[in-house]
Amino acid sequence: MAGSIDLGKSIDWQSELSESLADCPGTLLNPRRTEWDSSWRGEADFLPFREQVEWELAAMEAADRIAFYFAPDSQAPVTLMELGLAARTGKALVCCPAGYWRKGNVDVVCARYGVATVGSLPELGEAIRAYINGVKV
3-class SS at 92?
strand
The helix (H) or strand (E) run that includes residue 17 is helix 13-20
Q: What angle do CA 32, 77, 55 make, to 5 degrees?
A: 40
pTM (two decimals): 0.94
Tell how far CA 104 is from the center of its chain: 17
Contact 44, 50 (CB under 8 A): yes
- pLDDT tens digits along 84-109: 999 999 999 999 999 999 999 999 99
Domains of the chain (ranges plus CATH)?
2-132 (3.40.50.450)
pLDDT average, residue stretch 35-40 = 86
> What percent of the chain clears pLDDT 90, i.e. is strictly above it?
85
Burial 17-46 (b: 16+ CB within 10 A, else e): bbebbeeeeeeebebeeeeeeeeeeeeeee
pLDDT average, residue stretch 56-66 = 97
pLDDT average, residue stretch 10-34 = 93
